[in-house]
Amino acid sequence: MSPVTHDEWLRRAKAPTVHGAHHIDGRDEPGGGATFAVVSPRDGQVLTEVADGGPAEVDAAVAAARRAFDTGPWPRLAPADRGRVLLRLAELLEEQRESLALTVTLEMGKPITDAHDIELRAAINTFRWYGQLADKLTDESPHTAPDALALVTREPAGVVGAVVPWNFPLTLASWKIAPALAAGCTVVLKPSENSPLSALLLGRLGTEAGLPPGVLNVVAGDGPGAGRALGLHPDIDVLAFTGSTAVGRHFLHYSADSNLKRVWLELGGKSPNIVLPDAPDLEKAAATAAWGIFFNQGEMCTAPSRLLVHSSVAEQVTEAIVRRARELRVGDPLDPATEMGALVGEAHLGRVLDHIGTGREEGARLRTGGTRVLESTGGTYLAPTVFDQVGPGSRLAREEIFGPVLSVLTFDDVDEAVRLANDTEYGLAAGLWTSDLTTAHRVSRALKAGTVWVNCYEEGDLTVPFGGVKQSGNGRDKSAHALEKYTDLKTTWIQL
């Protein structure tokens, strides 16, 4: 945990390190002159104006990345040399950890403690892990007849377009960039227009770490402008996207309408968290459920937004969560004691409040929260919200809210719990609480999700893959499997 006090964070926030230019071909580029304001959800104040990229800026960035891939040194470096640059970038992120954490908090409302201890830790560890992995990969030589030699080599796929959201702006960017760079690809990153500042700083640090010009480019702009231009660009070989399912569909259309680039999608979720009556610790299960839905203001694709709890313990577990929600400290994200900060902006807060209104209209019971708070600050804060008596077919139970809103549903047996859990178009993550080993294995296998946590939630490290099934996407971030998205397999058959 950073030792910086609330007063010191406030002082630093008055003069934050922010840059509004794109980072293209190893240098800052102002673009065509158009800009957009980055507004802090903490207090509604404009942080700075940022260059607004569109097709022209994307063309310049992709051209730089194409030159760097086709004729530059990066894909041709020994893997160990690429790894050393990624390790140096991890060191620079560590050196700039407090400044980057402040930037993340100011642009998207995350509590400073979470930005420093979780967001930055994840980004630093990601570049370090892939830097260490870069020279550990091997090719294959299958056994053939004695008169031939077969080689299967894994080669960098080319120019990667990475489009990432605002909720974990550095973590999710690093999950795309680090394996792509380790594989020898070059990258054009488009961060969310809500949180471009930390990504622009990351681009500059990449150049400082020793990435050759054009290897890592960052273009700020919105989805219809810069995002669409990336998706349609004929010189992008691979497009990696994290965001909503609706926007993911657009990128598949862009691919079909252009060069059939591979599109890897990590999309939304409506993750079930199943609590059986034999859970090893019901209080811990309730506390973890509350932490999971309110962490990062509920702005997480994996948030356990559907609590499926056995009817015999439903009231006990729900009451414990309601109690925790009422005790949760919502406030200034620059205060290290704050547990839940501001939602990312007015428009998003309005959408979450609309979902809450729909839940009440559908007949769900509001147990706590449901209202905007701290409005006098100018920020976009919402009280932690819990509904029970939620119908499984209701919008509250089926649509991704992306806010601190928990829906509690009950069941009477394990088979019903599995049916409820899988009754969704999503399949990103799930949780299960039980003391029975056989139940843990059987239910985990039956759940249609990319990750299942048993007697915990949101645990894991970089050794395990992350991603979803069904309309939660395809492909995997993290682990060695992430490299599969950014490499091509080539077979060479030599007749002896």
Token pair of 51 as six digits: 């260059």
Residue keyed to tokens 């961060």: 191
Q: Which residues contact 460 (CB under 8 A, 6 or more apart)?
A: 451, 466, 478
Residue 313 has a CB neighbour count (10 Å cut-off) of: 18
Catalytic positions, please? Answer: 266, 301
End-to-end CA distance of the chain: 61
Q: Pairing mode, if any, of strands 22-24 and 27-29?
A: antiparallel
How far is it, in rounded angstroms, from Cα 51 to Cα 304? Answer: 36
Give helix then strand counts, H and E, for the chain: 16, 20
Token pair of 27 as six digits: 């240098």
Residue 412 has a CB neighbour count (10 Å cut-off) of: 10
Burial class (CB in 10 A: 0-12, 13-18, 19+), 361: exposed
b/e per residue, 279-305, with b = 16+ CB within 10 A? beebeebbebbbbbbbbbbbbbbbbbb
Token pair of 45 as six digits: 């104040």
One DSSP character per residue, 226-242 reads: IIHHHHH-TT--EEEEE
